[in-house]
């Protein structure tokens, strides 16, 4: 439009995107979509991206990811797919559950700047006076699996709190209204206790299996019980108490 070449338009748009990314002024923006209505401009955008792309030695240039989205996966992406899959398999160590937090936006309008500030300060006071945070520290937090992460996400969604999971430091931080933080913290503590009890019992069963093996005969064949049943039988024998065992 206006006599400007399509290549210049592509350069200008991509320069704006690059400038925005480098500024890091809006951390909430996670994805930028370029909609190209004229098919003939695809080549111009592709050429512009290639000009701005860092040298091949750079790891995963972001323009390559944009190009792959528009034009298909590059050969370098295919060569590195195995490494990326291995990285994706690693469990998250530190993460914030943000996907379901919808901010409330309040616009203030008044006759003077002082009135707006007074109203803003009053709203801030109402919002923060009932805010509370609680950090749970427990080494068993490192044992939480995907199911535990899902439970944390559900707790956040149901109670409207903000949760930060930090596995390396064995902490979970809960922020929100005081009563919600207390309720969610209690549920997280109960979940951690369940994990601790389960893991402790599994390790105990492993230890017992190295010392004694319970089983039964099926004809002339000796069939050992699984480790958990073996633990129950040995404890029952030591404590001289009853135990029910199902043999399929």
Q: Are 25 and 56 in a shared domain? A: yes
Query: Of 47, 62, 90, which residue sits at a domain end?
Result: 90
Q: Are 174 and 108 in a shared domain? A: yes
Q: Of 188, 193, 192, give the one whose Cα is nearest residue 155.
A: 188
Q: Are 102 and 202 in a shared domain? A: yes
Domain coverage including residue 75 = 6-90
Q: Are 67 and 132 in a shared domain? A: no
pTM of the model: 0.52
Q: Are 63 and 107 in a shared domain? A: no
Q: Are 180 and 104 in a shared domain? A: yes
DSSP designation for 139: G
For residue 133, the model assigns a pLDDT of 92
Q: Are 120 and 191 in a shared domain? A: yes
Q: Tell me whether strands 131-137 and 171-177 are parallel, antiparallel or unpaired.
A: antiparallel
Cβ proximity of 192 and 124 under 8 Å: no
Asked if the structure places residue 242 within a domain, the reply is no
For residue 79, CA distances in Å to 64, 76, 84 come to 13, 5, 10
For residue 108, the model assigns a pLDDT of 81
Cβ proximity of 167 and 178 under 8 Å: no
Query: Of 90, 123, 145, which residue sits at a domain end?
Result: 90
Token pair of 156 as six digits: 């956040």
Q: Are 37 and 110 in a shared domain? A: no
Q: Are 104 and 199 in a shared domain? A: yes
Count other C-beta atoms under 10 Å from residue 95's C-beta: 14
Q: How many domains does the chain have?
A: 2
162: three-class secondary structure by DSSP: strand
Residue-level pLDDT, tens digit, the chain, 248 residues: 456 777 887 788 777 777 776 665 555 566 666 666 666 777 787 787 777 776 655 545 544 554 444 444 445 555 555 555 555 555 556 555 555 556 677 888 878 888 888 888 888 888 788 889 999 999 999 998 889 988 998 999 889 888 999 988 899 999 988 999 999 999 999 999 999 999 999 999 999 888 899 898 888 898 899 999 988 888 888 888 888 888 76
85: three-class secondary structure by DSSP: helix
- The contacts found for 181-188 with CB under 8 angstroms, 24 or more apart, are 181/132, 181/133, 181/134, 182/132, 182/134, 183/159, 184/155, 184/156, 184/159, 185/134, 185/136, 187/155, 188/136, 188/152, 188/155
Asked if the structure places residue 241 within a domain, the reply is no
Asked if the structure places residue 235 within a domain, the reply is no
Q: Are 102 and 186 in a shared domain? A: yes
CA 122 centroid distance within chain:
34
Token pair of 187 as six digits: 């549920």
Q: Are 169 and 101 in a shared domain? A: yes
Q: What is the CATH number of the domain that holds 200?
A: 3.30.1370
Q: For residue range 155-192, what is the model confidence (pLDDT) as tens digits?
A: 998 898 889 999 888 999 999 889 999 999 999 999 99
For residue 41, the model assigns a pLDDT of 74
For residue 71, the model assigns a pLDDT of 46
Q: Are 51 and 101 in a shared domain? A: no
């Amino acid at each position: 439009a206006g006599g400007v070449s399509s290549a210049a338009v592509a350069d200008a748009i991509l320069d704006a995107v690059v400038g925005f990314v480098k500024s890091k002024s809006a951390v909430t923006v996670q994805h930028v979509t370029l909609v190209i209505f004229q098919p003939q401009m695809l080549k111009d955008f592709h050429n512009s991206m290639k000009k701005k792309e860092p040298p091949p030695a750079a790891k995963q240039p972001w323009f390559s990811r944009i190009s792959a989205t528009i034009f298909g996966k590059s050969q370098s992406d295919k060569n590195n797919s195995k490494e990326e899959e291995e990285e994706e398999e690693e469990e998250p160590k530190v993460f914030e559950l943000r996907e379901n937090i919808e901010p409330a936006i309040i616009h203030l309008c008044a006759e003077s700047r002082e009135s707006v500030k007074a109203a803003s300060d009053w709203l801030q006071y109402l919002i923060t006076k009932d805010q509370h945070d609680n950090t749970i520290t427990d080494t068993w937090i490192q044992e939480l699996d995907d199911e535990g992460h899902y439970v944390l996400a559900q707790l956040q969604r149901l109670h409207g709190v903000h949760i930060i999971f930090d596995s390396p430091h064995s902490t979970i931080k809960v922020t929100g209204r005081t009563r919600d933080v207390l309720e969610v913290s209690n549920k997280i503590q109960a979940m951690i206790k369940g994990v601790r009890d389960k893991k402790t019992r599994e390790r105990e069963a492993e230890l017992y299996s190295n010392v004694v093996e319970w089983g039964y005969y099926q004809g002339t064949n000796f069939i050992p019980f699984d480790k958990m049943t073996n633990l129950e039988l040995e404890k029952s024998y030591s404590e001289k108490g009853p135990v029910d065992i199902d043999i399929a």
